Chains A and B, each alone.
Chain A
Amino acid sequence: MRNYLVFLGRSFLLSFSGSPLFYAWMGFLTVLSAIGARAFTRQLVTGLSMTGMTDQVSWGIYIANFTFLVGLAAAAVMLVIPAYIYRKKEMHDVVIFGELLAIAAIIMSLLFIMVDLGRPDRFWHMIPMIGEFNFPYSMLSWDFIVLNGYLLVNLHICGYLLYMKYLGRKPSAFIYMPFVILSIAWAISIHTVTAFLFVGLVGRHFWNTAIVAPRFLGSAFTAGPGILIIAFQVIRHFSGYQISDRAIHILRNIVTASLLINLFLLACEAFKEFYAFSSHGSSARYLFFGLESHGEYYSALVPYIWVAILMEVAAAIILIIPPIARRMLYLNIACVLANVGIWFEKGMGLVIPGFIPSPQGTVVEYAPSSTEWLVTMGIWAFGLLLFSWMLHLAIHIMKGDFHILADEPTRGLREQAVG
């Protein structure tokens, strides 16, 4: 126990020691987070009227980001399966980074829920036992459980493995493996439940389709490993921690397969929406081509979806030509294209058109306000800050240069004597 407290204290101190570049990066993210947080407190004082949301489009960019980030968190499973189930050696050294990304992404997605609430002061009404929990009917109550559960499971796995490494002990599989297995099923569940949040709404035909959950998983398993491919190169460039090209190329294969599946599912959905040409396809028509209503032509989302599709197709072309995809530069371009594309496609492209046209048949368009952009930027900066900080500690532990001190008390005394 004492060792653990010392570990926490020293980790805290270690958080503030690093190169000038580390300081500049963390300082930059802190400034952005603070600007975002101030935008949120201003929104708190005035109300959600500072956003671009309306009674017709009652969820906006906050929920879009929430959806994207739950997917990012779920994608950690794409490292966990090769590492623990197929026992790929090169994945074992990096799986922890995937789990840390999951922790950061879950915290970000919970923050996006908090900033979206009209009454954040009453959020505790959602906590089981303490509040008044509408379980099992409300999908948001399920989401609350699975997201927080996934957060705890990953905190346990990462915390335990890193602490054992710090102590120089071999982790006991008995203590973490059951949770690893649990986290695999749980990762699928968080994104499925998030999809059901949309799927379960009877009046919204655009979402009320069985394909939403598979599409969510397809896009998640593209976006998450894509971000990690880039993160791994940043880590080995700046920290000197060895990450093999083979680990990156395993992720590349996962990204390639998932992206193709995602595009296939998108095509399936597009066929269903457009061939039948029923009134249930109005939202899709609005998204892809714009919609005419009472002499006016509405098309705010059209650029988003076509840019998204172009980006994803370009990424897919790069990825399916192995001689190109094996080169890091092109691989990175493909990962960025796929991620931005998916952010558009399942953020703005899935959440917003579900509300348009409204159930009473009117078309009210949505564009995020400056407050929404600032808060969004702030949460992303905070998430990156969190992820960088966890990586900073984890890499020092993994490299073995942050470890338990054999003679801690004596060393402290000696330093005092020197001073």
Chain B
Amino acid sequence: MSREHDEHKDSRGAQPPRTTDPNSSGRRTFLKAGLGTAVALSTGAFVAEPLRGLKDSPTLHELLRKHYTKLTPDLMDQVLRRIERQVAANYCAKVRVNDPKPLDGVEYAYCLNLSRCNGSRRCVTACMRENNIPPDHPEMAYIRVIEMPNDTLDLEDGNPLYAHETIPDQGKFYLPMSCQQCRQPPCTKVCPTHATWTEPDGVTVIDYNWCIGCRCCLAACPYEARRFNWTRPEIRPEQINPDMGYLSNQIRPRGVPEKCHFCLHRTRLGKNPACMEVCPTGARVFGNILDPNGKIQYILKNKRVYILKAEAHTFPRFYYFFEK
């Protein structure tokens, strides 16, 4: 059809006949564009087809919400109730999500007696239960206990995957590591969206519902404290701790990091962290570093404490010491 036109035109000498002529806008070009549209639509369908399996797509409110610091109490309440509804729908569990605020005059710190720790990993399992970490995903645990030979402090010599019949093993000591709650945290500095920050009580928190999942914080942390939800956490209703905090142990959405938050949904109500409560040897000491007569100040003044990777100048609020 159009070739006939071209030939016709050519015989009259109006326009050169080549279809590749970029200045031609004839019917053939339109036909091709139409065909192109059809190809584009079917390609789009081919690409979008897997999206039908999307179960946890965000709601419009979730997509358009504001940053944590700009949420009014009313809006915050809406967010918390929405999370409760989502947990009820997706995990078949009735839970309560709160957002306890930091207390005045309180700055938390942790001291850990390495001479007492026997490597039982009781703290690890208690932490997982408290913080809604799926029990069959031990790699997501916030606390990693590293079995160290007595003659070194070099972490590269340590073994976090030890599995003995009996603990402690001869010639070894046990170094539990979790978030060090730094005074100069490298992780919050690199976050492009202010999704992680340090609260006035010294706890570095993550807004799981704001983070974009770029993982700069995982790369920045010198202590390997952060875990990433590479997929949606799977946890059975009976395994869920229904007493949840927004910045702490709510069930995390996928695609965001998580880490130890000093159990702030407990500690801000005056309780102890789950790991300390369960420790069979009394190796763990948690408290308010601003309290001059508190346990933390006593240890800092009277024991020889050290911090991990002091050369990184992160100034942790997590202290280790050896004391029989």
- Chain A interface residues toward B at CB < 8 A: 10, 12-14, 16-19, 30, 34, 37-38, 41-42, 44-49, 51, 53-56, 58-59, 113, 116-123, 125-126, 131-134, 137-141, 144, 197, 200-204, 279, 282, 293-294, 354-355, 357-362, 396, 401-403, 405, 412, 414-415, 418-419
Contact = CB atoms under 8 A, between A and B. Distances in A.
Contacts of B158: 360-361
B193 A201 contact: no
Contacts of B232: 47
Given A13-B29, A47-B255, A402 B144 contact: no
B144 A125 contact: no
B239 interface: no
A65 to B, nearest CB: 15
Nearest to B311: A202
B23 A401 contact: yes
B32 A17 contact: yes
A171 B8 CA distance: 38
B94 to A, nearest CB: 26
A401 B16 CA distance: 12
Interface residues of B, number: 79
A203 B216 contact: no
B51 A41 contact: yes
Contacts, number: 215
Contact of A125 (B23, B49, B193, B254): B193
Interface in B135-185: 139, 144, 146, 154-160, 177
Contacts of B53: 45
B53 to A, nearest CB: 5
The 7 closest A-B pairs by CB, nearest first: A118-B213, A203-B222, A118-B255, A361-B155, A361-B156, A49-B231, A47-B231
Given A201-B186, A293-B156, A16 B32 contact: yes
Nearest to B209: A122
A311 B304 CA distance: 54
B19 A17 contact: yes
Most B CB contacts (10 A, CB to CB) among A17, A34, A414 go to A17
B201 to A, nearest CB: 21
A239 to B, nearest CB: 11
Contacts of B144: 360
Contacts of B20: 17-19
Most A CB contacts (10 A, CB to CB) among B8, B156, B222 go to B156
B93 interface: no
Contacts of B19: 17
Nearest to A141: B192
A126 B192 contact: yes
Contacts of A357: 156
B50 A359 contact: no
A118 B211 contact: yes
Given A360-B177, A362-B160, A47 B230 contact: yes
A132 B51 contact: no
Given A133-B193, A141-B192, A360 B224 contact: yes
Contacts of A51: 230
A339 to B, nearest CB: 26
Given A48-B228, A412-B25, A418-B5, 8 more contacts: A17-B24, A117-B214, A117-B255, A118-B214, A132-B210, A202-B220, A361-B154, A418-B14
